[in-house]
Amino acid sequence: MTDDTAAGTRSAAERDRSAPGRPPKVVIVGSGFAGFKAAQSLSRRMGDAVDIVVVSPTNYFLYLPLLPEVAAGILEPRRISVALAAALPACVRHAPGEVDELDLDEKRIGWLDPEGVHHETTYDRLVIAAGSVHKVLPVPGVTQYAQGFRGVPEALYLRDHLIRQIELAAMSDDPEERAARLTCVVVGAGYTGTEVAAQGQLFMKELAASRGLPEEPRWVLVSRGEVLAGLDPHLAHTADRVLRERGVDVRTHEQVDEATGDGARLASGDHIPTRTLLWCVGVRPDPLIDELGVEVDQGRLVVDSHLRVPGYPEVFACGDAAAVPDLSRPGEYTAMTAQHAERQGKLAGRNVAASLGHGREKRYKHRDLGFVVDLGGFEAAANPLGVKLTGKPAHVVARGYHLISMPGNRIRTAVDWTLDVLLKRQTAQLGLVRSPAVPLDSASPEVPQHGLGFPHAAAPGSRRNEQHGEQPQEQRQEQAN
Ligand SMILES: Cc1cc2nc3c(=O)[nH]c(=O)nc-3n(C[C@H](O)[C@H](O)[C@H](O)COP(=O)(O)OP(=O)(O)OC[C@H]3O[C@@H](n4cnc5c(N)ncnc54)[C@H](O)[C@@H]3O)c2cc1C
């Protein structure tokens, strides 16, 4: 690799830029939907005529829509984590690390690798696809007592946590403790909160029955708006109906005012005793964007319809991190969805290639082809090409859509789904991820905070820590277990 560690970086970076005959270097930040697709589309167009470096803390692409199935014990986490090396051509290099420096004027980028070594390099083109992190509202107690749901560590934590609550409830003679352990509160009814509540409730119900508990676990879904507000009404109404029919306590036009060690207090005054508070109120763009000094809108990097950052013709941005004009709805930006991120990433690859003399640029225009919402069991809602589906047909369409959309691991995923129909779910809780490792206010929900590696954990005084107010691990309170 020509990238350099901090020592002697500047001269090496200058050498790097002026090396005669070298292929242009394109650095892509992030290996999610947008970054992965950008790398794939660019490498297909230019092959060895370009040097592509993907900087990302994980060496895999994470298929986030199936994360709730990992928490529910249906899928093993590696099924939805597709290794970059297996799915991208060999000409794409992966630099493991988290970008902590971006100088758009100098065309220089720096990142910290998992062993704490800083690297820098220059680029000819840059694609920013750093995605998003949890949106944390200023609600007392939430950062201490709530957990988010954005990465594999959080899904693994939740799976173990739910099993543990059932087992501790089964051993308790105190009815109040049992009730609290068997109650889960999910805040936010977007696709994350809705799918987590749907999958989690079924999983916990099965667990409780298998341990001979007489009570049914209680799931409460709290949301300021309607369930799946903003999505097609058919999807929203189906999800709302299915959840209520299953016994989920859906409380719309409600919010959590305070989280405490023993429960959640709602705006209506109700106090819900619980040991499980899941914060799914939405996402905000990765904090990296705040630091760039260019125009942002609600934290998203403003780009033109070619995905270029105004004033920096060599810089492109896409996915959740970018505010991309929605040409089909003038005046609005595209929503933060996997569909948009994937298609924008593909276009970013095309437009970067065009800017390097390969092919022609295009503007981003995408018409919605439909959406799928998995509700666990055989329930789902889908509207492919506007056709309204519910129940088993929607379930089949949803699973088919996921399999087609995943860039790898399809057979393994399908096998896990088949096993889930034939066998009981595995309930060994390995306890490898505990709550301090998955803080809600993390700038990097994709990696567990074990005190190793990236800046937030390795160096308490690091720049990202100071800017984003991350607490040292020891200040975090481990929830009951
Ligand atoms: C549980 C869940 C379920 C969802 N379900 C759906 C669904 O059903 N349908 C749908 O359309 N959308 C869904 N979404 C939303 C969808 O996943 C996102 O819109 C999509 O992932 C955005 O893609 P992205 O590439 O912009 O970001 P991501 O996929 O989040 O990728 C961001 C990448 O950037 C990396 N990164 C972040 N910071 C840095 C840094 N400083 N340096 C280097 N790399 C960095 C990350 O590690 C990651 O690789 C869901 C989201 C969640 C959390």
Please give the structure tokens belonging to residue 118.
């800083």
* pLDDT tens column, 203-249: 999 999 999 999 999 999 999 999 999 899 999 999 999 999 999 99
The residue ranking higher by pLDDT, 236 or 475, is: 236
**403/447 Cα distance (integer angstroms):** 25
End-to-end CA distance of the chain: 43
Residue nearest to atom 46 of ligand 1 (CA): 30
Ligand 1 center from residue 320 Cα (angstroms): 7
Helix orientation angle between 410-422 and 391-405, rounded to the nearest 10 degrees: 150
Asked whether 479 and 275 are in contact (CB, 8 A), the reply is yes
**450/145 Cα distance (integer angstroms):** 18
- Domains detected in the chain: 4-134+284-355 (3.50.50.60), 142-281+371-475 (3.50.50.100)
Residue nearest to atom 35 of ligand 1 (CA): 30
Ligand 1 center from residue 285 Cα (angstroms): 10
Q: Is 473 helix (H, G, I), strand (E, B) or coil?
A: helix
The residue ranking higher by pLDDT, 375 or 18, is: 375
Contacts of 107 (CB under 8 A, 6+ apart): 17, 122, 123, 124, 126, 314
For the residues 76-102, what does the mean pLDDT come to? 96
Asked whether 215 and 208 are in contact (CB, 8 A), the reply is yes
Q: Give residues (CB < 6 A) around ligand 1.
A: 29-35, 55-58, 64-65, 67-68, 98-99, 129-132, 149-150, 191-192, 286, 288, 319-321, 336-339, 341, 446
* pLDDT tens column, 6-60: 433 444 444 455 566 789 999 999 999 999 999 999 999 999 999 999 999 999 9
Ligand 1 center from residue 311 Cα (angstroms): 26
pLDDT on residue 17 = 52
Q: Which of 61, 80, 119, 337 gets mutated to test ligand 1 (max ligand atoms within 8 A of its CB)?
A: 337
Q: Which of 40, 64, 278 gets mutated to test ligand 1 (max ligand atoms within 8 A of its CB)?
A: 64
pLDDT on residue 465 = 37
- Mean pLDDT, the chain, rounded, equals 89
Per-residue CA distances from 379 to 192, 246, 395, 421 (Å):
16, 11, 6, 14
Atom in ligand 1 nearest the alpha carbon of residue 99: 42
DSSP state, residue 66: G
Asked whether 198 and 376 are in contact (CB, 8 A), the reply is yes
Please give the structure tokens belonging to residue 228.
């799946």
Listed in order, strand segments (DSSP E) in 211-357 are 218-223, 249-252, 256-260, 263-266, 271-273, 276-279, 283-285, 296-297, 300-302, 308-309, 312-317, 322-323
Q: What is the DSSP string of 321-384?
A: GEE-B-TTSTT-BPPS-HHHHHHHHHHHHHHHHHHTTSS------------EEE-STT-EEE-G
Atom in ligand 1 nearest the alpha carbon of residue 372: 8
HSE-up (13 A, CA, CB side) for residue 199: 24
DSSP state, residue 8: T
